């Protein structure tokens, strides 16, 4: 059974990031944390909500990128790449 709280080190391991980054997330209030003596603890519910928020944002970014890549203004899935190449070459592409 999962504990109702987790340490910053446990959160870092679960997220695949360093502990320092977890402290930064707590400091910027993106991830709620509570100081108990020298330890920083994260409520499991808050951690799970943070994971869901990240997943929603990632899905939103993927959908936006797919919509932009195949939009009628681009004409093709590589329309943006051609536009950027043309800009780099001074409109000669």
Q: Is the pLDDT of residue 6 over 50?
A: yes
pLDDT tens digits for range 40-81: 999 999 999 999 998 998 888 777 766 666 655 555 454 444
Of the two residues 29 and 75, the one the predictor is more confident about is: 29
- Give the residue from 64, 46, 45 showing the smallest Cα distance to 56: 64
pLDDT at 87 over 60: no
> What is the tens place of the pLDDT at every residue in 9-21?
999 999 999 999 9
- One-character DSSP codes across 22-58: HHHHHHTTSS--EEETTEEEEEHHHHHHHHHHHHHHH
C-alpha distances in Å from residue 53, one per residue of 10, 11, 63, 70, 85: 19, 15, 15, 26, 35
* Residue 86 predicted with pLDDT over 50: no
């Amino acid at each position: 059974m999962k504990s109702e709280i987790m340490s910053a080190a446990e959160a870092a391991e679960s997220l695949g990031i360093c502990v320092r980054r977890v402290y930064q997330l707590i400091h910027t209030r993106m991830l709620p944390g509570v100081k108990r003596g020298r330890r920083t603890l994260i409520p499991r519910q808050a951690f799970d909500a943070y994971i869901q928020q990240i997943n929603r944002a990632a899905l939103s970014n993927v959908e936006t990128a797919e919509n932009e890549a195949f939009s009628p203004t681009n004409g093709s899935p590589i329309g943006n790449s051609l536009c950027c190449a043309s800009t780099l070459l001074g409109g000669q592409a």
